[in-house]
Amino acid sequence: MALTCPKCGHEIESNGIQKQHYHCDACSSDLKLDLLCGQCGFQLELLQACGAANLWCVKCNELKSKSSAIYSLIEE
Ligand SMILES: [Zn+2]
Ligand SMILES: [Zn+2]
> What distance in angstroms lies between residue 6's CA and the mean position of ligand 1's atoms?
7
The ligand with the least distance to the CA atom of 36 is 2
Total-model pTM = 0.81
Which pLDDT score, from 0 to 100, does residue 73 have?
96
2-75: CATH number: 2.10.290.10
Which pLDDT band, with edges at 50, 70 and 90, does 52 fall under?
A: confident
The ligand with the least distance to the CA atom of 39 is 2
Average pLDDT, the chain: 93
- What residues have CB less than 8 Å from 32, skipping those under 6 apart? 20, 21, 22, 73, 74, 75, 76
CA atoms of 73 and 59, how far apart (whole Å): 21
pLDDT at residue 31 is higher than 90: yes
Average pLDDT for 50-66: 92
For 71, counting Cβ atoms within 10 Å of its Cβ (0-12 exposed, 13-18 middle, 19+ buried), the class is: middle
